[in-house]
Structure 1
Amino acid sequence: MKYKVTRKQFNSDECFVCGIHNHAGLKTAFYELENGVVVTITKGDNFHQSYPNRMHGGIISALLDETIGRAINISEPETWGVTIKLEVSYRKPVPLDEEIVVCGWITKSKGMTFKGEGVILAKDRKTILATCEGTYFKQNIHDIIGEHRLSGWQFIPDTHAVTEIDIDYEFARSE
């Protein structure tokens, strides 16, 4: 199913997952979809591997953590998720040098915490490679990075505007 992109999120300078100047990082771009899901389409490189041609489990976890933690931005744009608990299930090897789709969404938001789920899908956009459930503390972006670091937090326009993303996955969302 094709989902309309409602907003592209900001990137940072040095974050391992989204940092545009982190040479060892993934340099991912995150998109908010009309169905309340945050998505990134990315691929790993050889220095992200564990076994040959397989992404390291810690990197898989980082991708899911970041994507779910960003999902709170849809309803609370100045809020970020700080991880309290994360449970990842590795279902199939995540390949390197091959496109993967990482999705995250909120399942419950109450007070100063929220829960979310996420998946990593293969390039066919339907085969599940990993799943995740997480609990997060809500924190204001200004409290996390400070006013002096906001210059490292920036909107990076796409070379080709992404207006919709096709994903063959049924999202079970509740809030």
Structure 2
Amino acid sequence: MKMRKQPNAEMCFVCGRSNPAGLKMSFHDNEIDTVVSEVVIPEHCQGYPEIAHGGILTAILDEVVGRSIMAGDHHRFMMTVNMQVQFRLPVLVGTKVKAEGKLLRLKSRIAKAQGKIYLPDGRVACEAELTMADMPAEIATHSRLEALNWAVDED
């Protein structure tokens, strides 16, 4: 399956290339409905000692699911209006995990999508189902995105 790299932002906690505390994740999509990424959970993102904080995992799920809506259009932004997360297994800091988001349904201004974070052995560490709504048009304008340096970085 051919995968296309998605844009990154400057200061986003999850994908921001210049955020010193961020995860600096890159995302690739299949140009239809699925987005994937991998990340090693850094030590400063722990909650319980040596365990990734649930809020960090939730942020990764929110990002990868939100980006599944962009698989066909990198300038289609939606915001999360409801998110249900199930934590199944702990994730140790320093572990490389795979995040996957999949668009389930898109109807005019509302979308349903799901995401999962996989451990290296393929087991699901956590998963989420999200309802998303269109971002207000004045927030996600092309000129605003350009000013925020929303762009695809070279590998």
The answer on 1:51 being equivalent to 2:78 is no
1:84-106 Cα deviation digits (max 9, x unpaired): 00010000001211110000011
Contact 2:32-2:71 within 8 A present in 1 as well: no
Q: Give the TM-score of the pair, scaled to structure 2.
A: 0.91
Q: Relative to 1, partners in 2 of residues 1:92 and 1:29: Cα closer, same or farther, differing over 3 Å? A: same
Aligned residue pair count: 154
- Whole-Å separation in 2 of the counterparts to 1:117 and 1:149: 25
Given candidates 64, 88, 91, the residue that maps to 1:94 is 91
Aligned match of 1:16 in 13, 18, 21?
13
Tell me if structure 2 keeps the 8 A contact 1:78–1:141. Answer: no
Separation (CA, whole Å) in 2 of partners of 1:105 and 1:26: 21
| Separation (CA, whole Å) in 2 of partners of 1:74 and 1:35 | 5
Of 77-86 and 27-36, deviating more is 27-36
Structure 1 position 135 matched with structure 2 position 116? no
Residue 117, structure 1, aligned to residue 114, structure 2: yes
Structure 2 unaligned residues grouped into runs of 5+? none
1:30 to 16, 27, 32: 27
- Runs of 5+ in structure 1 lacking a partner? 159-175
**So what's the TM-score if we normalise by structure 1?**
0.81
SS of equivalent residue, structure 1 residue 115 = strand
- Cα pair distance change 1:141/1:60, threshold 3 Å: farther
CA RMSD of aligned residues (A): 1.9
* Residue matched to 1:61: 58
Aligned equivalents of 1:144 and 1:61: distance in 2? 23
Runs of 4+ deviating beyond 6 Å: none
Q: Contact conserved, 1:79 with 1:140, CA < 8 A, in 2?
A: no
SS of the aligned residue for 1:47 comes to helix
1:35 deviates by 6.9
For 1:44 and 1:37, the matched residues in 2 are separated by 22
Q: How big is each residue's C-alpha offset from its partner over 1:47-69, in whole Å with a ceiling of 9 and x where there is no partner?
A: 10001111101111000001000
